[in-house]
Amino acid sequence: MDYQHITAKVYTREGSIPDFAAFIPVFHSWIQRREVKGVTLIDVADYTHVPNGPGVVLVALEGHYAMEPGDAPGLRYSNKRGANGPLSDRVRSAVGRAIAAAAMIEAEPALGQEVQFETSHLRLVVDDRLLAPNTDETFQALAGDVQGVMDDLFGAGSKITRVGDDKVGLTIDVVAGEAPSIADLAKRCGQ
């Protein structure tokens, strides 16, 4: 299958979120400095006023980054176009972009190291209910590719589990076999 819309979310550590408005000037500076490798950054959108909304979104030609508030705050990267190659490469790309941006946020001087990311778990979504319904059958069909990437990045023993219902695309929670720093994960992803 041609799964183009793959989303990866890296969660923030509990109590590690500043005012979301602080991300607006940070994301604008990334655009001005062309800070994100391999991505054409376009604009920043503030949705913090929307209940259960995406927070602050950094729009790119290839996909979108979002610092999301809510019950599980974190950074989400959603691939929208240009994902080529086998599924494992597409998963690695989405996870790598999310982790690279999380590492940049942790190192961002304007945020004063207030934001730290959890590396012991993350969430993947194949955001296409028609191509990848959130069923056990779809999970089993994709599990080998996803497991291989997670073991490469997080160490052998990473556990993947299908979660949610059929109102969203295939949703997979990943519990890491080890929890390296976000900077180390970015290096493992080649970012």
Cβ atoms < 10 Å from Cβ of 111: 14
Band of residue 137 on the pLDDT scale cut at 50, 70, 90: very high
Phi, psi of 53 (to 5 degrees): -85, -175
Residue 50 β-bridge partners: none
Band of residue 188 on the pLDDT scale cut at 50, 70, 90: confident
Residue 160 β-bridge partners: 174
- Residue 165: C-alpha distances to residues 1, 63, 117, 162, 172 (Å): 21, 24, 26, 9, 11
pLDDT tens, residue by residue, 68-109 = 987 789 999 999 876 677 888 889 889 999 999 999 999 999
Cα–Cα distance for residue pair 176/179, rounded to 1 Å: 6
Instruction: Render 55-71 in DSSP notation, one character per residue.
Output: EEEEEESSEEEEEE-SS
| Mean pLDDT, range 151-156, rounded to an integer | 86
Tokens standing for residue 171:
């949703």
Q: Does residue 165 carry a pLDDT above 90?
A: no
pLDDT tens, residue by residue, 32-77 = 999 888 889 999 999 989 988 899 999 999 999 999 987 789 999 9
> How would you classify residue 24: left for phi > 0, otherwise alpha for psi between -120 and 50, otherwise beta?
alpha
pLDDT computed for residue 177 by the predictor: 76
pTM of the predicted model, to two decimals? Answer: 0.91
pLDDT > 70 fraction of the chain, expressed in percent and rounded:
97
Torsion, Cα 11 119 166 5, to 10 degrees, reads: 90
Cβ atoms < 10 Å from Cβ of 70: 11
Tokens standing for residue 112:
């004063």
Q: Where do the structural domains in the chain lie, given as residue ranges? A: 7-188
**Interacting residues of 75 by C-beta distance below 8 A, sequence separation 6+:** 9, 10, 12, 65, 66, 67, 68, 98, 101, 102, 105, 117
pLDDT computed for residue 191 by the predictor: 59
Residue 174 β-bridge partners: 122, 160
